[in-house]
Amino acid sequence: MKSLKSAWIVALLMVAAMLVAPSVPLKAAELTDEQVEEGQRFVVNNAIFILFHEAGHMLVSEFNLPVLGREEDAVDALSAVLLLGAEDEELNTTMQDAADGWFLLDEANEDGPQEDDFMGTHGLDRQRAYAIVCMMTGANAEFFKVFADSLDFPQERREECVFEYEKARDSWMSLLAANMKEGAKTKFTVTYEPAGNEDLQGFADLLKGAGALETIATVFGEGYNLKDGIKITGKTCGTENAFWYAGDREITYCYEMAAFHAGLISNWFENQTADPDAANDAGGEEATDEQTDATAVKLKKKE
Ligand SMILES: [Zn+2]
């Protein structure tokens, strides 16, 4: 467990340090430099969360792990456990961005969930968001207090989440322990395919600059009994998604997904500019730094 933790922390801290990414158009015309930078971070952080989610599917499939309950929920929990377990402020921000990503996705879906969504493999977007919030506050109630307060996340729920987080962490760790070996190394093949169009190429460059795909290769490349040759590929897919293909042993992250998250955050920024009051909950009071940090629309503003 120790070696697992140290390996992923080192890799994740490296990524966190690289998040100042090359300049990418993020509908930049109407956004400030600060918003563009924050937006890029949001895009990369959501990609990282999703890549960890896909890596969770990879572990389930490669190790033939039992999954009680819905696999999609289980691998969201793994993603949260790994990122939160690093106990790093930047990676806590990754989690906040991931929760915000699902909230924004939910809000963008004006018609609300449809029958298909209820029948699908995943939880509803807003449920996924709150499940992440539960892991966050369960792992570190103090650090995420402002964020959880901004969502009116109930106190009793926060107390339950402490146990839910511990259960998720301990369950994953005990399952993984049997598939880990001190000193084991696995070679992954990381490829950023050319996007084939200028807009998406910007996102390919952003992810590459931040080393998003490499995070998975680094974190899972040490200490796990995985066979060499798993591919981690960024590409244009024609859909906004990410996949684990067991037969090909390949994680695919579609650049369209990054563009989609960029659209969500750009719209959110634009709405804030159009209606600055929407950005805070303070009801006429001067917003304090803390209040600005956690807004009613569930997105923290970073200084
Ligand atoms: Zn999935």
pLDDT in tens, 28-48: 557 888 888 999 999 999 999
Q: Averaged over 282-303, what is the pLDDT? A: 38
Distance from C-alpha of 122 to C-alpha of 129, rounded to nearest angstrom = 12
Q: Which of 65-74, 161-170, 243-252 has the least mean pLDDT? A: 65-74
Cα 254 to ligand 1 centre (Å)? 14
pLDDT tens for residues 219-234? 999 999 999 999 999 9
Q: Are 213 and 192 in contact (CB under 8 A)?
A: yes
Query: Do 230 and 57 meet the contact criterion of CB atoms below 8 Å apart?
Result: no
Residue 53 Cα, ligand 1 centroid: separation in angstroms?
A: 6
Tokens representing 262 are: 């960029």
117 alpha carbon – ligand 1 mean position (Å): 14
**Cα 33 to ligand 1 centroid, rounded to whole Å:** 33
Distance 52 CA to ligand 1 centre (A): 10
Closest by Cα among 182, 226, 214 to 65: 226
The dihedral through the CA atoms of 110, 128, 155, 83 has a sign that is negative
Q: How far is the CA of 71 from the centre of ligand 1 (A)?
A: 7
* Least confident span in 153-162, 183-192, 270-279: 270-279
pLDDT of the residue at 216: 94
Nearest to 97, CA basis, from 78, 80, 85, 82: 80
CA–centroid distance, residue 60 to ligand 1 (Å): 11
Quote the pLDDT of residue 29: 57
Of 278, 274, 269, the C-alpha closest to 302 is: 269
Alpha carbon distance 139, 170 (integer Å): 12
Check whether 173 has a pLDDT greater than 50: yes
Cα(122) to ligand 1 centroid in Å equals: 7
Distance 250 CA to ligand 1 centre (A): 13
The Å distance, Cα 162 to ligand 1 centre, comes to: 24
Residues above pLDDT 70, as percent of the chain: 80
Cα–Cα distance, 9 to 15 (Å, whole number): 10
pLDDT in tens, 258-284: 999 999 998 888 887 765 554 444 333
Q: Work out the mean pLDDT of the chain and round it to a whole number.
A: 83
Candidates 157, 101, 81, 271; CA nearest to 148 is 157
Indicate the domain borders of the chain: 2-19+29-280+287-293
Phi, psi of 5 (to 5 degrees): -65, -45
Q: How far is the CA of 121 from the centre of ligand 1 (A)?
A: 8
Q: Which residues fall within 8 angstroms of residue 198, CB to CB, at 6 or more apart?
A: none
Residue 46 Cα to ligand 1 middle (Å): 14
Distance 289 CA to ligand 1 centre (A): 36
Interval between CA 291 and ligand 1 midpoint (Å): 34
241 CA from centroid of ligand 1 (Å): 10
- Classify residue 68 as exposed, middle or buried by CB count within 10 Å of its CB (0-12, 13-18, 19+): exposed
Whether the CB-CB separation of 191 and 233 falls below 8 Å is answered with: yes
- Residue 53 is predicted with a pLDDT of 94
The residue among 88 and 207 whose pLDDT is bigger is 207
Q: What is the average pLDDT across 105-116?
A: 82
Look up the pTM and report it: 0.82
**Cα Rg of the chain, angstroms:** 19
What span, in angstroms and rounded, lies between the C-alpha atoms of 21 and 30? Answer: 20
> What's at 281, amino acid-wise?
D
Ligand 1: centre distance to CA 257 (Å)? 14
Give tens-digit pLDDT for 74-104: 999 999 999 998 888 888 999 999 999 888 8
Return the higher-pLDDT residue of 300 and 158.
158
CA of 273 to the centre of ligand 1 (A): 34
